[in-house]
A = this chain, B = another copy of it.
Amino acid sequence: MRPWEKAIRSVVPYVPGEQPSGDRIIKLNTNENPYPPAPGVQKALREMDGEQFRKYPDPAANVLVDALSDYYQLQKNRIFVGVGSDDVLAMAFLTFFNSGKPILFPDVTYSFYPVWAELFGIPYEAVPVDGDFHIRPRDYRKDNGGVIFPNPNAPTGICLGLDQVEEIIKANEDVVVIVDEAYIDFGGESARSLIDCYDNLLVVQTFSKSRSMAGMRIGYAMGSETLIRSLSNVKYSYNSYTLNQPSLILGAEAVKDREYFERTTAAVVHTREKAKLRLRELGFTCTDSSTNFVFITHEKVPAQEIFEALRKEQIYVRYFAAPRLKNYLRVTIGTDEDMEAMYRFLESYLK
């Protein structure tokens, strides 16, 4: 090892799902929305003036923040935007979790949390979910440096009720509590309604799932003025111009079409509920998912075998080699056609 290598930060990076490409592929592995972005996005893309790219984008992202402010009827200084909710969450870790005490998050959860904690040197404690993968609010009643959990949780899809979320916040009024609502639009109740009551509550959402914009990288946070100002200060200390011109323009368009948003999320929910029935008929147990994926295990065949068999058929789902998850698969809800193709294969494979 050369001397300069000693000062390199050592990390175990998050591994994103595969991004295979090809015409025959059925891609149910990264929780993308099967429906395209709202029609207004396409129209704005067609009309976009590429000459303007020579100029920096608005560092305050006003056009996008305005659209979110209108949509949620929330003041602009209570909304923060970033390059996907990963960017927003990473900045939130860096901004809020500096007490030196361990932060708390579930042991079965979004696998980026321990990665960010390691990256920024934040101590943490992974709090076990129960045997049925449920987060127990009472487990979050202990001294800590902050709390973060997804609601609904990933990769289980299980959603806490708003009363349970509030129970966790109430028990943690001395630290920042982050509710990561990447999947909330597919059936959960958002903690957004609580941000007026709790100044220490940050609610994070994304355009990648319910708004069909994973490719644009847009995430946002809502909370008290103090939380948002602190996040903005750290953002301006990291990169003044994070969202590029197309993200600002197309993101704003995506938010404006409430009808399309409601229609496509309802379609995903409909396909998901059908999936639960069909997969049970095939011998799978499904958690009660409120997201755009199902989390399943088979009564006879090990998850990894099913994963490999699907992969050979060019049907990509997600397998996690973690101790508590290794007999489960996370299957993104695709179009009805994609799902039928998967059921057909599983029917013959599991016979």
Contacts and interface: CB of A to CB of B under 8 A. Distances in A.
A244 B241 contact: no
Contact of A237 (B6, B119, B174): B119
Contacts of A3: 173-175
Given A56-B19, A237-B115, A246-B244, A50 B37 contact: yes
Contact of A55 (B214, B239, B246): B214
Interface in A114-161: 115-116, 118-119, 145-146
Contact of A212 (B53, B145, B146, B250): B53
A109 B110 CA distance: 40
A176 B9 CA distance: 12
Interface in A287-334: none
Interface string A69-100: 00000000000000110110010001111110
Nearest to A57: B215
A97 B6 CA distance: 10
B8 A230 contact: yes
A8 B228 CA distance: 11
Given A57-B215, A119-B234, 5 more contacts: A7-B98, A14-B236, A32-B55, A42-B51, A87-B239
10 contacts: A4-B173, A4-B175, A7-B145, A8-B95, A9-B95, A13-B236, A16-B56, A30-B55, A53-B250, A83-B244
Interface of A: 2-9, 11-16, 19, 27, 30, 32-37, 41-42, 45-46, 48, 50-59, 83-84, 86-87, 90, 94-99, 115-116, 118-119, 145-146, 173-176, 199-200, 208, 212-217, 226, 230, 232-247, 250
